[in-house]
Amino acid sequence: MGVNTVFVLGAGFMGNGIAQVAGFSGYRVIMCDVGEDRLEAGMEAIRSSLGRLLAKGKITERQVEETLAGIRPTTNMQDAREADLVVEAVPEDPELKKRVFAELDRICPPHAILASNTSAIPISSLASVTTRPEKVVGIHFFGPVPLLRLVEVISGVQTSEETMDIADEWARSLGKETVLVRKDHAGFVANRVNIPTNIEAVRMIEEGLATPEEIDRATGGYEAGVGPMQIIDNAGLDVGYRAALAIYEDTHDAKFLPPPLLRRMVSAGLLGRKSGRGFYDYSTGKRKSCFPALHAEESEEERAFRMQVVLNRLLIPAVLEAVAVVEAGVATAEDVDRASRLGFNLPFGQLEMADGLGLDAVQETALSLYRETGDRKFFPPHLLRRMVAAGFLGRKSGRGFHTYDD
């Protein structure tokens, strides 16, 4: 059965973005939230996003009208009985998601596919509360949905091939590029790889080693707005916190445990761009630094040394996790890099970067961090050590995670 009617549950940052791109691509969309005010805010976000695209000449007046006409807002979850596909985008709370999945399963027609936009909750755990686990799938968009091209399509342990195919085809029909994740690996690919670096960044702020701006500048992503603290602020600190916690709860691996500073900021309501303040202040409409400058007395040499430590602690966790994702057979090196590039607008993926730096150099840096800290998260995974031992050193040897002709 084809997908004609899409029911989007949640009209927040992700839900309204998903409704917009589905409406734009000609699907009949029903967008549901718990209150009229939330729905109206969701519709307003869609109107202003379409308005910006129109002003830039990317879409026509007619497309704006047709997209808006194709989206029906509702507060009545029973309207899901019309759905061929549901995309759930309620907050990242496992109990809430399980509750809505059980309810959607009761309301939706038997052919309907139930998809979750969860950032990190295992799909199988959501499927387990339904009577149709073969029709439950992850369709994970990245925000802002109209701008970022990646969609991860994730299989739970019982998801059928047919469901994966329909989900993949539907996501691609929206103009997205998909990465298929056939193992139900918490955090999937892009978040799984990038969260260890985000957590390490928050730890360095907590330790007083660097400010958010220094961290974003160290990665070279500051000007383009793709530094880790900028990405966390855009996605929402609550979203990042819950995604990291979900991976921690699934793996019990301490590198995913959200640090106290992140927890304190979330409980203080400092949620990033959407609340006006997170690691930066947005109250004037522009991003401004709001953490006090550090190490005012340090020399140029001391500063250079500090920034090198910061950079190493930012690069290594994501590279090692990217290697671990390939080693676990969750995704290929190509897909890991594509997921980071398209999901977070990064100029290159972590494995391309590691190949460029030299895998032997990456291993050495990781080992020196491991020796200095005694922290197991810096110990190079088996696959990296074996590749270095085999002489696959990256670009300079013609082969690393990718192959090079030059």
Per CB under 6 A, residues contacting ligand NAD are 9-15, 32-34, 38, 89-92, 100, 117-119, 141-143, 235-236, 239, 243
Catalytic member of 119, 125, 198, 312: 119
Q: How far is the CB of 213 from ligand NAD (least distance, A)?
A: 21
Q: How far is the CB of 13 from ligand NAD (least distance, A)?
A: 4
Tell me whether residue 252 is one of the annotated catalytic residues.
Answer: no
DSSP string, 206-240: HTTS--HHHHHHHTT-TTTT-SHHHHHHHH-HHHH
Name the residue nearer to ligand NAD (CB basis): 194 or 219: 194
Q: How far is the CB of 271 from ligand NAD (least distance, A)?
A: 9
Q: Is 57 helix (H, G, I), strand (E, B) or coil?
A: coil
Helix axes 13-24, 61-69, angle to 10 degrees: 110
Name the residue nearer to ligand NAD (CB basis): 143 or 258: 143
Name the residue nearer to ligand NAD (CB basis): 23 or 400: 23
Q: How far is the CB of 97 from ligand NAD (least distance, A)?
A: 7
Q: How far is the CB of 240 from ligand NAD (least distance, A)?
A: 8
Sign of CA dihedral 361, 364, 365, 366: positive
Name the residue nearer to ligand NAD (CB basis): 188 or 401: 188
Tell me whether residue 155 is one of the annotated catalytic residues.
Answer: no
Least Cα distance to 97 among 130, 132, 72, 71 occurs for 130
Give the Cα separation of 319 and 384 in Å (integer).
10
Catalytic member of 88, 152, 214, 321: 152
Q: How far is the CB of 166 from ligand NAD (least distance, A)?
A: 20
Name the residue nearer to ligand NAD (CB basis): 330 or 357: 330
DSSP string, 68-119: HHTEEEES-GGGGGG-SEEEE---S-HHHHHHHHHHHHHHS-TT-EEEE--S
SS3 content of the chain, % helix, strand, coil (to 5): 55, 10, 35
CB-based closest residue to ligand NAD: 12
CB of 123 closer than 8 Å to CB of 96:
no
Least Cα distance to 121 among 93, 144, 163, 90 occurs for 93
Catalytic member of 191, 198, 234, 275: 191
State the Cα angle at 356 between 334 and 219, rounded to 5°.
Answer: 90
Length of the chain: 406
CB of 266 closer than 8 Å to CB of 237:
yes
Residue that is written with structure tokens 């695209």 in the block: 53
Give the Cα separation of 121 and 210 in Å (integer).
31
Name the residue nearer to ligand NAD (CB basis): 14 or 59: 14
Name the residue nearer to ligand NAD (CB basis): 143 or 381: 143
Instruction: List the strands of the sheet with 28-32, edge to edge.
Output: 71-74, 28-32, 5-9, 85-88, 113-116, 136-141, 150-155, 177-181
Tell me whether residue 140 is one of the annotated catalytic residues.
Answer: yes
Catalytic member of 140, 155, 312, 321: 140
Does an H or E element contain 155, and which? strand 150-155
Q: How far is the CB of 22 from ligand NAD (least distance, A)?
A: 15
Tell me whether residue 372 is one of the annotated catalytic residues.
Answer: no
Name the residue nearer to ligand NAD (CB basis): 14 or 316: 14
Q: How far is the CB of 243 from ligand NAD (least distance, A)?
A: 6
CB of 40 closer than 8 Å to CB of 71:
no
Give the type of residue at 206: E
Name the residues annotated as catalytic.
119, 140, 152, 191
